[in-house]
Chain A
Amino acid sequence: MLTGKLAGQEDVFIDGTVEGAIELPDSDLTIGPNGKVKADIKARKITVFGRVTGKMFPAERIEILKTATVRGTVKTPRIVVEEGAVVHGKIESLGQDMSFPAARQTKPLIIRQQSRG
């Protein structure tokens, strides 16, 4: 479990528990199927397979997959929600077309769940 503020310039994959704040203004955040995040999130792109509670401000887009549970506020230019996802909260999405340079192919930082017995 990670508590505090997570900030950086590389893509991050969280498959564990993170609480606090996440700031990745130029990078992508993926919350894996085992991820449990309670945080206010700023990222370029947010992809959610797991659980998130908080305020989300993707600069580009958010994708909420069918396994995801999202609670809180989302303010985003673009949004995709897969059927099956659980969403509770206020969504503001303008559906704007924003042309961003193609995603970089860098290895994300991975935060995995700790096995505790």
Chain B
Amino acid sequence: MTEIHQVLVGAGRTDAITNMARALREALRTLGESEIYAQHPAPGVDDVFPLDQFPLEDSAGRTIVFHASGGDPDVFELLNSVAERIVLVFHNIAPAELFDDVDPSRAEMLRLGWQELELLRPKVCLAIADSVHNAECLAGVGYEDVKVIAAGVDAYRLHRLTPDPPMWHRLGHEVHGPLLMYVGQSMPHKRPEVLVQMQYLLTRHVGRFPSLAMVGPPTVPVVNAAALEQARVLRVPGCLFYGQLTDAELAAVYRRADLFVTASMHEGLCIPILEAMAAGVPVVGRAVGALPDTVGDAGLLLPADAGPEMFAEAVGELLDDQGLRSRMAFRGRQRLRDFDEDAATASFLEALAGVV
């Protein structure tokens, strides 16, 4: 019986890569046995096995689907010793230099990630990137014929959920005026502080009083903690740091939001932006990494070096122009046709059939 397991470095309850692996697991199970293994499964993740439970016996001819987003010596060791062939799904690796001061050990793992990608190359029988940008990055470390397939992406996942009633009630209580939202892990390249500074300028210099909901797990807690502290010290009104939410809670935030704003400096694909487009929420971000490809003409992309002043004016502009917001929301839904989950899964399985 065919056995194709997936291996991840970390796995979370709601993180994008784990969700993609979950969707692929369903597709892979049509071919045979398939499970997900992760070196660092988060507490409460009960559908992903710890890597030390990976079945080591009968490894001859084994193919492993490896989701690369960072380095880890134990994962590398397992892939090197057990996998005969690797199907690499590349989600990109965050820029290590931004982690040097705040989380040096993570910075080291990120650097290691690139080295491991080069070392694993001889075993990789199929390289898949989930965006054109990621494919270009992979080509930069010597990979050829990288296929671009955003497999396992279900942009409408949250849109189909009933928003969590208590969260909806809480938003009604806490949100005053329009709601700006951001979703992403607390990591330095996501630049949450730029959004807090944007909110500071909006409320102090532009005379606008939206609320700003910041959502996402505290991967590098000091990053969001410092942004929160800056909001407190500068007495910035309307900053709502919600941390990690359940899917139903997040669905409530998307349902209530007027704009999705991200100041991230590096994105390999950015699933939250696809989810915003599915929810009809216009997107504002920087033209960096994969964002131009992901957003297309459905979002307002500022220059890569845009600071809080430009973000504040962009938010002001869009809040004033309901017509433009509606057009962006419409284009967002059209744009999502390029991210059709069934078509991507079919492409993934077709590519896999060529090598397994």
Asked if chains A and B come from one complex, the reply is no
Interfacial residues, chain A to chain B (CB-CB below 8 A)? none
